[in-house]
Structure 1
Amino acid sequence: MTNPILRPIVAWLRDIPGGDDTTRGNGVALQLLLIMIGSSLPLIWPYRIAALIHPLTRSDWIDLCTDSIVAASAWVGVVKIRRGDVQGATRLFVASMLLSQALTYVQRGLMSSMLDQTYVVLPIVLGGLILGRRTLWRLYGLLIVLFAAGGAADVSRLAAKGAQHPMMGAINVLPLALSYLAITMVLDQCVSTLRGSVMAAERRGLRLEEMNRVLEDEIAAHKNAREQLIHAQKVEAVGRLAGGVAHDFNNILSVIEGYAEAREESDDPAVLRSALYGVAAAARRGAAISRKLLSFGRRDVARLEVIDLKRALRDARQVLRQLFSQGVALSVDIADDARYVRFDPEQLELMILNIAANARDAMPPDGRFDIQVTRLSPEHVRMAFRDDGQGMPEHVRQSVFEPFFTTKPAHAGSGLGLAVVRDVVRSHGGTVGVESLEGRGTTLLVDLPALAGHGDNVLRPSPLIHTLLVEDEDVLREMWSRRFEAEGFLVVEAGSGTQAMRLAAELAHTLNLVVTDLRLGDNDPDAWTDQLRALLPEVPILVVSSHFPPTIQRTKGVGILHKPCSPDLLVSEATKLVETSWRRGLRGEDVAAASHGG
């Protein structure tokens, strides 16, 4: 019950602008002291006046004036602290206390003022703790002067009364001076130790801050070097594939040239139309090769996806075929329970090509390169890359993953390949090792975290679902796109049927989902899903419309959602459709594998 009441008060006391933590801490304590003194002194005097039998004497009036000065300085000091001037508030309050003490000593003398030492102790304590050691000793000197003035007033008063020993009025000056000297020395030592500790802590903080900056620079440099290493290896991989790519492009150009000559051989529209279709198909094949090259040359951020290794290695096999000579036997064997991992697809291809390129350089022209994927354990999948090349001696095997280590001549290799493989595998939570004997070939073992996905287990789709969003209403399309992207989808937008078909053809190999309106203005609503299904047979399609013709039905891979619908419902239905399609694909492929095995 107390904390909620005190919390805003404490927050107000700590809300002091400027200064360091020590100054603000001193300001909190000083505020409490000044508020207490500024409040208590005005309340004491009405009680004293009511309790007095006789009228106020001259001494009482002087005490009232001095207390008023101290109370007023206390409230002015609070205002100064609220403005961030903690030291100014301290100087003002200490000065008012010393002035009050001086007036009291001169009026009453030292002996009659010794009962209340508050006005003596507070200035020296506050001055030492807040204003520093030099001010502490100056305040001690002023106190000695005040003690002497008070003692002189007592001596003068005793002499006026005809006392035999008037110097007895100054008897307390020396003991007081020695007592406050001890207090001042203790305060000086404490303040010195405290300030030394604070300065040492500040120096340590500065050193830690500097070390942190150096560490951040080193981390940034390491990250940059790693990115440069991977990028350099991508460029090297492109260079090694240049021969095979040039061969493919020459074939494509020959096909285009052959179809182009058809216009000179025949004026039949059907022949010309067939030739144009052939040119378009060849162009699409060339575009696919271009995208493959561009994916090697870009420095992209890692994009983790759930990857079907059977499909990925099937696509990579075509590239590997260009990498190896025609005499090399190439085989790929993937266990059904070890097909799925979470990996960046481009870095997976980069890893495979680097391993294959190193194997190619160690193999004979009629050698053999095998890729085998098995379930190593419930938590790991193992990819084994075997070649029947010349193998490695032990000292080479131990250094094979070091950057720039190579056994080739300087012009024949950079020594980056397997170092990049190691970094890529580690960045995806895996491990890599090598088994090799000289003269008996080499096996590179890549162990990756496995995903559930066999049998009845649920395999979650990739958090980055590549989605084609088709909607001709700009505002609605923009709103849905923002909502999908907020949930981790990678969205490509299309505002018409023509644009959607073009994008679907270009992105067919990467799309995971299509979300589309049924009536776009330039499409046939009755045949729209059939057109998309023909182009994207394995991609789930979520159709969103206010009216559905009888020909549109919810079937395998096609979902239906009626407008109007909320963005949350849209994202939920899209996610369910992708998950269902993924699970159905797994079961269908398992059944197919079993039937082939039988």
Structure 2
Amino acid sequence: MHAPRPPATVRALTDRLVGAPLRRLLAWLRTVPIDDPVDRRNAPMLQLLLVVIGTVVPVLAALRWQRDWGIGIDVTRELLAMLTMAFAWTCLYLVRVGQFRVAASLLIASSLGLLGVTYATEGLRIQVDVQYLHALPLILGGLLLGRRALWGVAAVLLLVFALGAARDLAMMLDIPALRSAAYAALLRASVGTLIVALILDRAVSALREALLSATRRGEELARTRDRLEREIVEKERSQAQLLHSQKMEAVGRLAGGVAHDFNNILGVILGYASRADAALDPDAADASLAGIRSAAQRGAVVTRRLLSLSRDEAREVAVFDAAAAVRDIAPMLRQLFGQQVQMAAHVAAEPLPVRLDRAEFELALLNIAANARDAMPDGGTVRINVERQHGSVAITVTDSGVGMPPDVIERMFDPFFTTKARGHGTGIGLAVVHRLATEAGGAVRVDSEPGRGTALRLLLPLVDAPPAVTTRPATLRVLLVEDDAELRGLLRDALRAAGCDVLAAGRVREAQALARDAERIDAVVSDFDLPDGTADELFADLAPRLPEAHLLLISALDRSAARRHSRGLRVRTLAKPFAPDRLVRMLLEMAQAGPRRDG
């Protein structure tokens, strides 16, 4: 069984009384101004040895004085002890000021000098029992100063042993047996010293070689690191240049595609507007207006593609019936395909509610249809199926076009990737589709082979349908703020035609004055950029005075989202361009939802 661990309080007390002082002592021993890494590594050990010598030697001397006080003190021994203590503290000071090798040399020299005096006065045989201690200068010389110092110390030790043997022989001239013992002691001491020196020489040599190899390896690694850092920096610079060139190429490709689309749109609008028979034939006039409306809707699709890719478009996420949305957009899809493509739509009769931005959903369908049309340059057939499938809405668009190889399928959802000729494709349509599906928790599946057409399936999760609204709200009083006079007049007339009471303004100050004089305002509709401020400033000023009024931002870019959230205001957004009836429907939906609730 394991021994029980001491209580936490005992461990903490032990650490405070022993561990903390010991850590501070070790930190103090390591803090020395020494440049050489080997010397700096050896400095704590040498300092600790010097502290022990400088402390133990006077303690032992004091004990001897107490023991021999009445008998007589050996003055020579005590002087040598005091010299040893003085050398130890002197060497410690030298280490602390950065003179490591001077301190080590002085310590070894003083030790050898004291040994020489001891052997010369007392002889060799009397030191036999403590000769292992006399190997300390040899060990210190080898470990601290290197091989040359090691063999120098060994030579001095042999000389010291010779002095001791000479002292023994001088006292034993008339005793042959003792003379033989003196020679034997000299031989043993010399051979032992040489063996220890040889072992230390090999050990020190191997240690120095290992340290040198480690140093070289470290320098090599440092050079490799520097080279890799330079290569990484160069690679990042090259990658940045490549990305810049790719962005420039993508911008050029995008600009060409947008210019191509808008040229076609403007051509259609100008063509319908210049029809001379429209002024005489009501049916021709209706057809011209329908063509202009359709062309304008195509222009809105182009701008939405750009805004949706950059995520700057104001998004309105709501629950709507995907099946009904497909039925509503089907006429536009048929016009998009033209006369050469036969389109068949099979849409489930049951409601299929999804939670999305409806504009983005319609844009995704238009993008899928546009790609299907471009895959059939000589005409063909397109089938659109909308059905419930395992808790999801499955919208499948199947064309009889040229199909795609696997490498194109792998990259078809990458932004700006297109296989169309320069100026005829932006490469952002399917990227918008993929983003819409993934952000809604759905997916996009593609089945295609060259020459066999393509089937693209958009899977969107079903949600609970919102409760039906059966009552129409009372007359709304709307504060409309739009700096474009023509658009302001158009929206004002559409709102009044829907039964709303409209106060119209073109500036922030004008809107603030109308709000102060009005008895009631149910909704504030404002463009973002105004001549004397922004919609954010207007909403922040009116919100406290109109705590229940709905706030609606109409803008192509939702640039104020972060600031609205910071103020805690609940602001709905409607992305331009939009049809006036869309604004009317959104205001009615907001009114039916009850008063505004911020936060």
TM-score band, normalised by the shorter chain? 0.5 to 0.7
- Cα 1:402–1:455, aligned 2, differ >3 Å: closer, same or farther? closer
Residue equivalent to 1:63: 81
Offset, 1:45: 4.4
Partner-residue secondary structure (3-state), 2:525: helix
- Which of 350, 363, 368 is the aligned partner of 2:376? 363
- Cα 1:153–1:437, aligned 2, differ >3 Å: closer, same or farther? closer
Partners in 2 of 1:15 and 1:304 — Cα distance? Answer: 62
Instruction: Provide, for residues 421-463 of structure 1, a one-character-per-residue CA deviation record: whole Å limited to 9, x for no partner.
Output: 8998999899765312455531245779x7x97569xxxxxxx
Match for 2:526: what amino acid?
L
Instruction: Provide, for residues 227-262 of structure 1, a one-character-per-residue CA deviation record: whole Å limited to 9, x for no partner.
Output: 7556644542432232332355678999999xxxxx
Residue equivalent to 1:99: 109
Matches within 5 A, 1:275-286: none
- Cα 1:364–1:66, aligned 2, differ >3 Å: closer, same or farther? same
RMSD: 6.5
CA contact (8 A) 1:364 1:389 kept: no
Higher relative contact order (CA 8 A, sep 6+): 2
CA contact (8 A) 1:389 1:442 kept: yes
Match for 2:512: what amino acid?
N
Larger radius of gyration: 2
1:392 aligns with 2:409: no
- Cα 1:196–1:501, aligned 2, differ >3 Å: closer, same or farther? farther
- Which of 525, 532, 539 is the aligned partner of 1:534? 525
Instruction: Provide, for residues 559-595 of structure 1, a one-character-per-residue CA deviation record: whole Å limited to 9, x for no partner.
Output: xxxxxxxxxxx978728x579xxxxx9xx79x99xxx
Partner-residue secondary structure (3-state), 2:447: strand
Partner-residue secondary structure (3-state), 2:524: helix
Instruction: Provide, for residues 504-549 of structure 1, a one-character-per-residue CA deviation record: whole Å limited to 9, x for no partner.
Output: x99xxxxxxxxxxxx9898335379959722379x99997679955
Matches within 5 A, 1:429-468: 434-437=446-449, 440-445=452-457
Partners in 1 of 2:444 and 2:437 — Cα distance? Answer: 8
CA contact (8 A) 2:418 2:427 kept: no
Matches within 5 A, 1:248-327: 248=265, 308=317, 324=336, 326-327=338-339
Partners in 2 of 1:255 and 1:34 — Cα distance? Answer: 105
Partners in 2 of 1:333 and 1:12 — Cα distance? Answer: 83
Match for 1:246: what amino acid?
N
Offset, 1:101: 1.8
Partner-residue secondary structure (3-state), 1:144: helix
Partners in 1 of 2:239 and 2:430 — Cα distance? Answer: 14
Matches within 5 A, 1:23-422: 32-33=48-49, 35-37=51-53, 40-41=56-57, 43-53=59-69, 54-80=72-98, 88-89=99-100, 91-109=101-119, 111=124, 115=130, 117=132, 120-121=135-136, 124=139, 128=143, 135-163=145-173, 165=179, 167=183, 170-171=186-187, 172-193=189-210, 196=213, 200=217, 203=220, 207=224, 225=242, 229=246, 232-248=249-265, 308=317, 324=336, 326-327=338-339, 338-340=354-356, 358-364=371-377, 386-392=397-403, 396-401=405-410
- Cα 1:41–1:162, aligned 2, differ >3 Å: closer, same or farther? closer
Offset, 1:107: 0.4
TM-score, scaled to structure 1: 0.54
Partner-residue secondary structure (3-state), 1:96: helix
Matches within 5 A, 1:538-557: 552-554=546-548
- Cα 1:285–1:434, aligned 2, differ >3 Å: closer, same or farther? closer
Partners in 1 of 2:463 and 2:381 — Cα distance? Answer: 31
Match for 1:107: what amino acid?
V
- Cα 1:325–1:286, aligned 2, differ >3 Å: closer, same or farther? closer
Residue equivalent to 1:480: none
CA contact (8 A) 1:127 1:139 kept: yes
Residue equivalent to 1:459: none
Offset, 1:41: 4.9
Offset, 1:407: 11
Partners in 2 of 1:218 and 1:235 — Cα distance? Answer: 25
Number of residue pairs matched by the alignment = 460
Offset, 1:410: 7.6
CA contact (8 A) 1:331 1:370 kept: yes
- Cα 1:119–1:155, aligned 2, differ >3 Å: closer, same or farther? closer
Gaps of 5+ in 2: 1-11, 275-295, 467-478, 489-507, 529-534, 553-563, 573-585, 594-599
Partners in 1 of 2:459 and 2:49 — Cα distance? Answer: 68
Partner-residue secondary structure (3-state), 1:170: helix
Match for 1:141: what amino acid?
W
CA contact (8 A) 2:317 2:356 kept: yes
Offset, 1:119: 6.7
Match for 2:455: what amino acid?
T
Partners in 1 of 2:30 and 2:425 — Cα distance? Answer: 61
Offset, 1:64: 1.9
- Cα 1:162–1:230, aligned 2, differ >3 Å: closer, same or farther? same
Instruction: Provide, for residues 358-394 of structure 1, a one-character-per-residue CA deviation record: whole Å limited to 9, x for no partner.
Output: 534312466566888989878xx8886735242327x
CA contact (8 A) 2:384 2:397 kept: yes
- Cα 1:185–1:207, aligned 2, differ >3 Å: closer, same or farther? same
Partners in 2 of 1:416 and 1:546 — Cα distance? Answer: 43
Percent identity among equivalent residues?
17
